[in-house]
Amino acid sequence: MTKTKELARPGPVGGKRDENRKLRRAELEKGALALFLVQGVEGTTIDDIVDRTGAAKGSFYRYYKDKRDLVDALIEPVRAGLLEAFTNAEATIARAETQPALLEAYLGLALGTSGVLFEHRQLALLYLQESRAPGVGARKPLSDMSNTISEAALRLTLTARKRGLLRPIDPRVTSLAVLGATERLLFETFRDEGFSEPLKVAEALITMVMDGLRASSGDGEL
C-alpha cells in the first residue's frame, strides 16, 4: 500500500492540530468518493476534488502524493476488512471435516464480508464499479484489490479441495464463477437496493453453489 504523506504536526497526536488534519483528509476523501461514483476515478481530476471540498490544491498535496495515493488510502478500510474475513474463512476451512462445517465456513465468510461492505457501502460500490476496468493510473489500487480478493477466493477453494470437500473441478473456474456472481449481486443490491435482505441473498447463493460443488463418493478428476 502506498503511504500518504503526513502533515508535520507540532502538536501532540490527538491534539487540536492533529484532529484538524484528520478532518481535512476526511473531507477530501468524502468529496473525492462522491465524484468518483458519478464521474469515475479517471474522469475526476484533483482540481475537481479541491473545488468540491473548497480546499487549496496545495493542501491536497500535503496529504497525498497524487490521485492514486488518495484512492489507495480511501479503500484501505474495505481492503483490510475483506482480507481479514477471507483469512478467517481459510483457517476455518482448513479445520473442516464435513460438508456442514464447510457450508458454515462459507456462510461465516458471507457474514464477515457483508458486514464490511455494508459498513462502507459507498466504497464497496466504488470497488464494484471500477475494479474490472484497466488497472492503470489512479485505478490501480482497485485493480490490485480485485486481484488480491481473487487469489484469496482461489486459496479457499484449494483448501476445501485438499480437505476432500469439493468436487474436483478446476478451482480457478469455481472460485472465479462464485466471486463473479457474488459481486454482481452486491453491485445490484448497492446500486438499486433491489433486495430487501442482502445477507439472505448471499446465503442462498452459497447454498446453491455448495449443492453443486460438494464432493460425493465416486467423484473423479475432471
**Which position has the higher pLDDT, 168 or 185?**
168
Compute the distance between CA of residue 123 and CA of residue 79 in angstroms, rounded to an integer.
Answer: 10
Instruction: List the single range of 10-14, 37-41, 75-79, 121-125 with lowest mean pLDDT.
Output: 10-14
pTM listed for this prediction: 0.80
pLDDT tens digits along 203-222: 676 666 666 555 554 444 43
* Average pLDDT along the chain: 83
Name the most confidently modeled range: 57-66, 174-183, 200-209: 57-66
The amino acid present at 102, given as its one-letter code, is: L
Q: Is the pLDDT of residue 120 over 60?
A: yes
Per-residue pLDDT at 21:
86
pLDDT band for 2, please (50, 70, 90 cuts): very low
pLDDT band for 9, please (50, 70, 90 cuts): very low
Angle between the N-to-C axes of helices 140-162 and 67-93, in degrees from 0 to 180, rounded to the nearest 10: 10
Indicate the DSSP class of residue 214: B
Q: Going from the N-terminus, what domains does the chain have, and what CATH number goes with each? A: 16-67 (1.10.10.60), 75-213 (1.10.357.10)
User: Average pLDDT, stretch 4-11?
Assistant: 45
